[in-house]
Amino acid sequence: MSRDKHSTGNAAWDLDTQLIHGWSEPDSAGAIVPPIHPASTFVRQQIDDDAPFRYARGSNPTRNALEDLLAGLEHGVAASAFASGMAAVNAALQLLSAGDHAIVGYDCYLTTYDIFANDLPRFGIESDLVDLSDIEAVQAAIKSNTRLIWIETPTNPLLDIIDLAAIAEIAKGIGAISVVDNTFASPYCQNPIDLGIDLVVHSTTKYLGGHSDLVGGAVIANSEALAARIADRQYNLGAVPSPFDCWLLMRGIRTLGVRMRQHIANAQAIAEWLQADPRVLRALYPGLPDHPGHALARDQMPGGFSGMVSFEVAGGSAKARDVSERTSIFQLATSLGGVESLIYPPTAWLETEPELMAEIPGSPWAQHPGLLRLSVGIEATADLINDLDQALG
């Protein structure tokens, strides 16, 4: 699949070039990589000058370089970096006020659920869980006080595909903010802002970092006004990444293109193999032609279908746990998007978080007790398939 070019400076660069060169020009020393500025405070010539750097919670040269790069990758006007993906999520949700209503995709990250289910109601903010792939259901959920629509696509862990342009149009029509958690896709595969979305959120821990060695988050805005509101939240909340983590993240981003191509190739091969295996009830991957969202994904994910694959086995949660504990290359671990392959049975949440799961009406995980989620890494394809083959027994 081809990618549109994105203009940076006076040159129209392809994404792969921007990943490497999009952070800034070399510094005065001619460094080919961004320098790390560990300073917590910066000298000013006078108290009321307009110095760009004063205190590191507000801005830091290393973090600014990262934020410029992230804004460019997501085609936004500005980005704010955070110390974790959930810090970024919370910053975006602080745009809501008491009395507001939010519409949330019913299949999304569990901690995001927890905030909507347990935290926001304490501040007078209500929400409804909706299957966002059903546009009529989205329209039916709208209230006079709906101020935000929260989206993941592909969703976690069922990998549904949501029509971003359609949701963005609905949000604009009611004066609500549309937010996409783009962690699963990464800016390599899709750019929600191009489809009318207002804010893009990332756990940069995942594909952007790519090596399971940092924790971070980001929010990218489509307008100066929203960018300023998020920057205000960044400053007041104080959950900013360290200069070293910013540098490490930029280092990871440099190889996003080559990594994603291998993630995608491996995921496609594994999904096709799983789909053909009689021990598997169903395989879920947007790259499979019979996936309900395949055609839409081809249109809105021009870079590919990413590296997340889910599948369901007979035998329910017990069998899913057994398979997840029998793999040797696929490591049983939380998280995703690293160079190594990971496996996790989402149904374990039914047992480890029973009170929270009980609060989620029609939990998608409860409907599919034999579900397993794969974060497909960049190892040899045949080795990964052989590992799953022996684990399925």
> Active-site residue 109, yes or no?
yes
Q: For residue 350, what are its two tokens?
A: 């039914």
> Active-site residue 233, yes or no?
no
Find the catalytic residue in 106, 107, 109, 188: 109
> Active-site residue 113, yes or no?
no
**What does the angle CA 284 – CA 289 – CA 192 come to, to the nearest 5 degrees?**
75
Mutual angle of helices 85-93 and 224-237, in 10-degree steps: 120
> Active-site residue 206, yes or no?
yes
Go through 328-355 and write b for each residue having 16 or more CB atoms within 10 A of its CB, e for each that does not: ebbbeeeebbbeebbbbbbbebbeebee
Residue with tokens 């293109």: 257
How many residues appear in the chain?
Answer: 393
Find the catalytic residue in 3, 54, 57, 282: 57
315 contact partners, CB below 8 Å, separation of at least 6: 322, 370
CB atoms under 10 Å from CB of 322, counted, come to 15
Find the catalytic residue in 107, 160, 181, 198: 181
157 contact partners, CB below 8 Å, separation of at least 6: 107, 308, 310, 346, 364, 365, 371, 373
Catalytic residues: 57, 109, 181, 206
